[in-house]
Amino acid sequence: MIIKQATEEHLKDINEITNYSILNTNFNFNFEAKTLEDTKKWYYEHLEKDFPIIVCLLNNQVVGWASLSTFREYRGYDKTVEVSLYVKNEHKRKGIGSLLLKSIEEEGKKRKYHAIVSAITGGNDASINLHKKFGYNVKCVFEEIGFKNNEFLDVVFLYKILCY
């Protein structure tokens, strides 16, 4: 497996992995699939702000991706980022999430971010446990704050200090 910076050639796969989660799970609160143009806009906005997007390649195929993004738009949060991480459904439980999380944290440290936050839908135990394995602490559970597929859903906020 190879971890590398995402390029425009990876966007179709990133889009497909994300859309699988949108359309088939409650773990992404979007309701409609993203277009490739939506994903390109997101990608170039990340490049412009120097937010990393990385991919995991297996046999030259994207099997997962991770990114860092703005946590909140206030300047006082400039040293805090939010992590997103997705693994292709048929490649889960193969260590890809661990590789991606470790690598995206390194990208955050290079950019001198102080704290990293992850907001995970309650019930997504695999993702919650992955973050805990890497030292993230559950700091808040917002009960029934999200709604998808006719169900109110909890959101678990985990965070970790990256560097001092």
Q: Mind listing the domains of the chain with CATH numbers?
A: 2-114 (3.40.630.30)
Alpha-helical runs (H) found in the chain: 11-24, 36-48, 96-110, 125-133
Q: What is the pLDDT along the chain (164 residues), one digit of tens a residue?
A: 999 999 999 999 999 999 999 999 999 999 999 999 999 999 999 999 999 999 999 999 999 999 999 999 999 999 999 999 999 999 999 999 999 999 999 999 999 999 999 999 999 999 999 999 999 999 999 999 999 999 999 999 999 999 87
How many angstroms separate the CA atoms of 74 and 9, rounded?
32
The model's pTM:
0.94
